[in-house]
Amino acid sequence: MAEYFEIFLAFFSFLFLYLYLSRNKNGLPIYWPFVGMLPVLLQNHHRILHFLTEILQASPLTFLIEGPWLSNLRLLVTADPANAHHLLSKNFGNYPKGSKFTEIFEPLGDGIFNSDGELWQYHRNMAQTFFSHPQFQPFFLERIWKKLENGLLPILEHMSKQGLEIDLQDLFERFTFDIVCEIVLDHDPKSLCISLPDQPFSKGLPDAENAILHRHIVPRCVWKFQRWLGVGKERKLREFEKLADDFILNCISKKKQETCKKSSSHKENKSENVWKLDITKFYMDNKRASSKTESHTDKFLRDNALNFLLAGRDTTSAALSWFFYLLSKNPHVVSRIREELAMIMVQPDYVHDRNEEDKTKGQHWYNYFSRNFKELSDKLVYLHGAVCEAIRLYPPAPFNHKAPMEPDILPSGHQVDSSMQIILHIYAMGRMKSIWGEDCHEFKPERWISNKGSIKHEPSYKFLAFNA
């Protein structure tokens, strides 16, 4: 028996040595017997965005990752703009999110980011109607201003007086979470205050996101087994789902009670055309009739609210965090932005009073800016370019997930079928010299400004940060 073990050990030692010596000289992952490319994925799971970027830089912008035998793990990762245009525009109908995406993002339920077909179209139409309403912009600006004035600025002033360090990312997450909760649920959790209270739902989000990312890397049977056992990242994900249910369903219950009280106590005065905006109420007032969902159940409203909460909180706070990080590393950009802001901060109809309180002055500036929002924001060309450049380097949603329904050939020449998953690596796309030039790793707002001094618009399939 010992002899067989020695032969077995010698054989696999020789095989390992042979594969190591014959590894891809370009630094691309090797497809190992039995385990496929899983070892290198697990080895780099903590830096998966950078790792896949390095692979795509060493390959022609597209690379097939294959998992262990019988795992059915086949991921085609691409940063090719032509492929992106094909997937998201030219042949969009053949590339839904797919059943595997729905399973991986199962905590999102039937919300807009986890739906396909008729349900996705319904969510899309509802979102477009809501966000394009003429009263949405002034409502949104007012919410931002109040949260700045009563939340963010007092905290910054307090921290400055006390000489304390500030975690800007935490503040931005609280800032966006409070605002998006008002828009989605008509509820202000007041997490952005000097005491910086814990908000269990918001605090549990990073663990949930890590668990979902983990599902992309390991075979399906692994994370399914972890979920069944209730261990590891899957345990934390399940805990977050419970927090989400408690928080969102409680807000929905209060919303329904308030609606019933208002309808029973008095009829709405139509002469008072005040639009009280929140997405949940908007859905409740616009019940759909279809073969799949005849009414909006609490579960449906919960899923929808969760999708919008995640999108509004995480994307905006991440964009703000990276933007200010890049500003701290590039003081010359800060100077240019300040110069540009100084040029528009001149009110022809307002004379400053030195004895006037700062809060009153701030209200004057807000009134002036909100009245002339389009005109003034169009003049902030350099600031616009700086924001676009930050999002190019650090997109809030670093990848997109697609699955072909029918066999197809991508512009890159890669053949795909329904057994494969396609990852659009948006983070890597912003770091490709073949797309953005030799200086692609530099933070250069000037990249977005034309010779005429106006903002330069890049094709959406090249600048894919908004998944358009």
Inside any domain, residue 76: no
Inside any domain, residue 457: no
Cβ-contact 57, 406 below 8 angstroms: no
Q: Which residues of the chain have pLDDT under 50?
A: 18, 21-23, 270-274, 289-292, 294
What is the per-residue pLDDT for 202?
86
Q: How many residues does the chain have?
A: 468
Cβ-contact 95, 103 below 8 angstroms: no
Long-range contacts of 150-158 (CB under 8 A, 24+ apart): 151/175, 151/178, 151/192, 151/193, 152/192, 154/193, 154/194, 155/192, 155/193, 155/194, 155/196, 158/194
- Give tens-digit pLDDT for 381-391: 999 999 999 99
What CATH number is attached to the domain comprising 140?
1.10.630.10
Inside any domain, residue 254: yes
Inside any domain, residue 75: no
Residue of 386, 383, 395, 381 whose CA lies nearest to 462: 395
- The pair of structure tokens assigned to 413 is 């020449």
**E-strand spans in 49-198?**
62-66, 74-78
- Give tens-digit pLDDT for 60-83: 899 998 888 777 778 999 999 999
What is the per-residue pLDDT for 272?
42
First to last CA, the chain: 62
Inside any domain, residue 216: yes
Total domain count for the chain? 1
What is the per-residue pLDDT for 344?
83
Inside any domain, residue 159: yes
Inside any domain, residue 175: yes
Inside any domain, residue 170: yes
What is the per-residue pLDDT for 449?
96
The dihedrals phi and psi of 252, each to the nearest 5 degrees, come to -65, -40
How far is Cα 220 from Cα 226, in angstroms, rounded to an integer?
10
Residue whose entry in the numeric block shows the structure tokens 């992952």: 29
How far is Cα 419 from Cα 404, in angstroms, rounded to an integer?
8
What is the per-residue pLDDT for 295?
59
Domain that holds residue 174: 112-262+274-314
Strand partners, 36: 32
How far is Cα 223 from Cα 104, in angstroms, rounded to an integer?
10
Long-range contacts of 210-216 (CB under 8 A, 24+ apart): 210/236, 211/236, 211/237, 211/240, 212/104, 212/105, 212/107, 212/237, 213/48, 214/45, 215/104, 216/75, 216/104, 216/423
